[in-house]
Amino acid sequence: MTLLSIIIPVYNEEENIHLLCTELVLHCGGDYEVIFVNDGSTDNTLAEIEKIINNNKCFKCLSLSRNFGHQNALMAGMAHAAGQKIIIMDGDLQHPPSLIPLMARQLDNGFDLVVTKRNKTENIGPVKKIMASLFYSFINIISDTKIEANVADFKAFNSKVLTSILQFKERDLFLRGIFSWIGYKTSTINFDAPARKFGKTKYSFGKMLKLALKGTTSFSFKPLRVALLVGSFISLFAFAFGVFALISYFKGNTVPGWASIIIAIMFLGGTQLLAIGLLGEYIASLFTEAKHRPLYLVEKKLNIA
Ligand code: UDP
Ligand code: MG
């Protein structure tokens, strides 16, 4: 009999826990364990989980010492999964537990990794939609690894894939990219994501931007090359313009040219700042990697040896 491990990072999801667990019990047949990763919740999430654990020994919890972020919480859960089949999903019921049997079956059919793709998401704001579509178009232009839009962190995979994922020691985690980088025999399932049951999104604008930057800097060097190319092109143009200016000066037909000077300064300044900022991102990323800090700290384990 194979064990199925379901990993669910939760951050302030107190209202969702009970309903989620009811649904999970309904849809998980056979031998399974549900590992909640409490990512530094400040509400009653942990108390809700404790109530469930006291009634059902299939439920477990890993409580982190503070909020380490969704991606790190997923890593923490995966490092503690004992199953031969593993599922990662969100704790807000946007990833329907009713899909679990189908995903598990795909693994039995010989696939190593089952990814899910949202057809549409109910009640998603226009800003988030536009941001997401811009991000995915951008990252796919610059990245060598194809990262599909609408592929959620709702996946099923076997222990072979788990071992591969756990080998990634990078601090700036972008799991969506990593899952498509590793390869393996993959199957895709489409689903309609319902709206969040309770509470509101934990991905603020800032957190989304941070994830987008992680995705960009950890999957491609191309932005640096673009900066170099644009820089070279502008320098070349500036040189030609310099020659032109000198000739004009000696011919004596220079005019007081405030507009052209201010435009050149603003344009060059802007491009330079952009390129420096980009460099800064990569250097910051190197800095974080070099420090080698742990990805998460576990404060408490409930029902986990
Ligand atoms: N989450 C987390 N830590 C965080 C942010 C989010 O563990 O710092 C969890 C959250 O509780 C949820 C999942 O990650 O179970 C996805 O977050 P959310 O639903 O807010 O993202 P969205 O669906 O809006 O993209
Ligand atoms: Mg959600």
Structure tokens at 24: 């999970």
Q: What is the pTM of this model?
A: 0.79
Closest CA to 205 of 92, 293, 127, 292: 127
**Ligand 1 centroid, distance to 225 Cα (angstroms):** 33
Beta bridge partners of 193: 121
Distance CA 282, CA 138 (A): 17
**Ligand 2 centroid, distance to 108 Cα (angstroms):** 28
Closest CA to 209 of 143, 131, 105: 131
- pLDDT(152) > 70: yes
pLDDT band at 173 (very low <50, low <70, confident <90, very high): confident
Specify the pLDDT at position 39.
96
179-222 per-position pLDDT tens digit: 988 999 999 999 888 888 788 887 777 777 787 777 778 777 77
* Residue 42 CB less than 6 A away from ligand 1: no
**Ligand 1 centroid, distance to 266 Cα (angstroms):** 40
- pLDDT(123) > 70: no
Q: Are 49 and 59 in contact (CB under 8 A)?
A: yes
Lowest mean pLDDT among 64-78, 146-160, 239-253, 256-270: 256-270
Amino acid at 95: H
- DSSP string of 141-201, one letter each residue: HH-SS---TTEEEEEEEEHHHHHHHHT---SS--HHHHHHHS--SEEEEEEEEPPPSSS--
* Residue 13 CB less than 6 A away from ligand 1: yes
Distance CA 32, CA 9 (A): 17
Question: Which of ligand 1's atoms lies nearest the C-alpha of 69?
Answer: 8
Mutate to test the pocket of ligand 1, among 131, 135, 175, 203 (most ligand atoms within 8 A of CB): 203
Lowest mean pLDDT among 23-37, 49-63, 190-204: 190-204
Q: Are 289 and 172 in contact (CB under 8 A)?
A: yes
Lowest mean pLDDT among 36-50, 59-73, 109-123, 137-151: 137-151
Specify the pLDDT at position 242.
81
* Residue 92 CB less than 6 A away from ligand 1: yes
**Ligand 2 centroid, distance to 74 Cα (angstroms):** 14
pLDDT band at 142 (very low <50, low <70, confident <90, very high): confident
**Ligand 2 centroid, distance to 82 Cα (angstroms):** 26
* Residue 223 CB less than 6 A away from ligand 1: no
- pLDDT(76) > 90: yes
